[in-house]
């Protein structure tokens, strides 16, 4: 949850006046998005999301996100388009922050997705990948596998987070460096498609949101991130085969993985679990106890990592 920056109503009215979206009727800070301040903005023309970009999203990256969402919206993915003002400008300034007014999408983020919903999420991810395969934008993945050792080092002694964690992470970093695939189909991926970032109505996906980790990487890595995010018990110890099979079946409706991708899935999934384990451990150690952001427990991603390391891990990726 996050609303960090106050927006003065007069400044808001001036911002909205740059657009063809009517005048302000309501603007309420919403508890959505970890990195930014988000507001649900209602005008005489409809509803929008106003996002103010806080420190973790670089202003220099915003044109990339605007272009990416334009591309996806134009190709039919249910992503929120960035609205442009009458001069064609999408990235504005308000309250000392870069800001965008973004299309509002209906739908609710699920807490406990069922198999039909996992299948729909898999299909939406696959359809987005079909569109992204033809997208010529690119962005270095600052959360990609080459950066994980640096995140671990910056966290300090991982045994302070959980006894024994340092040795597990050291072994996994060595494994990743030795076994990460050299070459698989790659393009811009979402890289953070947790249930929070998918809006649904019933079993239908109505929105894919929060692209601020989007970067160039293997599409199969995006798939295993989604697998790790959607198909496990809350404590990360158990992968539900019905949910996992449904997710893979939905994805397979849109994308046929190569043999090399299939073979790499357990390795990529260990990497995905390691990535969220490390960034959560880092934030756990470095987030002040009085911060507005709720720190996320890293343990459930250690549990996923151990599950993906098991001898039968490949079976978790069968399309049921």
Instruction: Determine, following the binding rule CB under 8 A, whether residue 110 of this chain makes contact with a copy of itself.
Output: yes
Instruction: Determine, following the binding rule CB under 8 A, whether residue 30 of this chain makes contact with a copy of itself.
Output: yes
Q: Partners of 207 in the beta sheet?
A: 199
Nearest approach in angstroms of CB 10 to a copy of itself is 7
Residue 76 vs residues 3, 12, 79, 113, 222: alpha-carbon distances, Å: 30, 30, 8, 23, 19
Give the Cα separation of 169 and 113 in Å (integer): 30
Give the nearer residue to a copy of itself in terms of CB position, either 12 or 186: 12
Instruction: Give first-to-last CA distance, the chain, whole Å.
Output: 35
- For residue 141, the SS3 value is coil
Helix (H) or strand (E) holding 319: none
Among 25, 116, 260, 310, binds a copy of itself (CB under 8 A): 25
Using the rule CB under 8 A, give the single segment among 161-169, 230-238, 242-250, 286-294 that binds a copy of itself. 286-294
Q: Partners of 38 in the beta sheet?
A: 30, 51
Give the nearer residue to a copy of itself in terms of CB position, either 31 or 182: 31
Nearest approach in angstroms of CB 246 to a copy of itself is 18
How many CB atoms lie under 10 A from the CB of residue 89? Answer: 12
Spatial contact of 264 and 181, defined as CB atoms under 8 Å apart = yes
Give the nearer residue to a copy of itself in terms of CB position, either 28 or 179: 28
Instruction: Determine, following the binding rule CB under 8 A, whether residue 12 of this chain makes contact with a copy of itself.
Output: yes
Nearest approach in angstroms of CB 200 to a copy of itself is 8
Site for a copy of itself in 37-96 (CB under 8 A): 40, 42
Give the Cα separation of 278 and 273 in Å (integer): 9
Nearest approach in angstroms of CB 38 to a copy of itself is 9
Using the rule CB under 8 A, give the single segment among 107-115, 186-194, 240-248, 305-313 that binds a copy of itself. 107-115
Give the Cα separation of 190 and 215 in Å (integer): 7
Spatial contact of 91 and 176, defined as CB atoms under 8 Å apart = no
Considering just the CA atoms, what is the radius of gyration of the chain in Å?
20
Task: Count interface residues toward a copy of itself (CB under 8 A).
Answer: 32
Instruction: Determine, following the binding rule CB under 8 A, whether residue 285 of this chain makes contact with a copy of itself.
Output: no
How many CB atoms lie under 10 A from the CB of residue 61? Answer: 16
Each residue 196-215 as x (binds a copy of itself by CB under 8 A) or -, in order, gives ---x-x--------------
Nearest approach in angstroms of CB 91 to a copy of itself is 23
Instruction: Determine, following the binding rule CB under 8 A, whether residue 3 of this chain makes contact with a copy of itself.
Output: yes
> How wide is the angle at C-alpha 123 spanned by C-alphas 118 and 125, nearest 5°?
95
Give the Cα separation of 42 and 215 in Å (integer): 31
Give the nearer residue to a copy of itself in terms of CB position, either 4 or 64: 4
Using the rule CB under 8 A, give the single segment among 26-34, 64-72, 164-172, 174-182 that binds a copy of itself. 26-34
Nearest approach in angstroms of CB 174 to a copy of itself is 36
Give the Cα separation of 213 and 33 in Å (integer): 12
Nearest approach in angstroms of CB 130 to a copy of itself is 27
Query: Where on the chain is the footprint of a copy of itself (CB under 8 A)?
Result: 1, 3, 6, 8-10, 12, 24-32, 40, 42, 104, 106-112, 199, 201, 289-292
């Amino acid at each position: 949850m996050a609303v960090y920056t106050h927006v003065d109503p007069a400044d808001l009215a001036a911002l909205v006046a740059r657009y063809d979206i009517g005048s302000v009727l309501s603007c309420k800070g919403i508890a959505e998005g970890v990195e930014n301040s988000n507001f649900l903005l209602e005008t005489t023309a409809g509803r929008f999301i106003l996002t103010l970009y806080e420190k973790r999203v670089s202003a220099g990256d915003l044109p990339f996100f605007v272009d990416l969402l334009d591309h996806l919206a134009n190709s039919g993915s249910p992503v929120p388009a960035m609205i442009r003002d009458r001069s064609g400008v999408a990235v504005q300034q308000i309250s000392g922050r870069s800001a965008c007014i973004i299309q509002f999408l209906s739908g609710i983020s699920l807490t406990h997705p069922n198999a039909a919903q996992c299948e729909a999420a898999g299909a939406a991810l696959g359809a987005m990948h079909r569109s992204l395969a033809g997208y010529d934008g690119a962005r270095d993945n600052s959360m990609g596998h080459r950066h994980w050792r640096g995140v671990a080092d910056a966290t300090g002694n991982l045994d302070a987070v959980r006894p024994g964690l340092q040795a597990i992470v050291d072994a996994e970093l060595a494994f990743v460096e030795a076994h990460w695939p050299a070459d698989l189909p790659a393009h811009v991926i979402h890289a953070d498609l947790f249930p929070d970032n998918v809006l649904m109505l019933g079993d239908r996906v109505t929105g894919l949101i929060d692209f601020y980790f989007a970067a160039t990487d293997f599409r199969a890595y995006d798939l295993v991130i989604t697998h790790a995010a959607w198909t496990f018990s809350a404590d990360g110890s158990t992968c539900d085969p019905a949910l996992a099979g449904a997710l893979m079946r939905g994805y397979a409706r849109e994308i046929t993985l190569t043999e090399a991708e299939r073979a790499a899935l357990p390795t990529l999934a260990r990497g995905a679990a390691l990535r969220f384990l490390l960034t959560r451990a880092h934030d756990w150690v470095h987030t002040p106890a009085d911060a507005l952001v709720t720190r996320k427990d890293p343990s459930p991603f250690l549990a996923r990592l151990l599950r993906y390391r098991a001898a039968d891990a490949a079976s978790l990726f069968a399309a049921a």
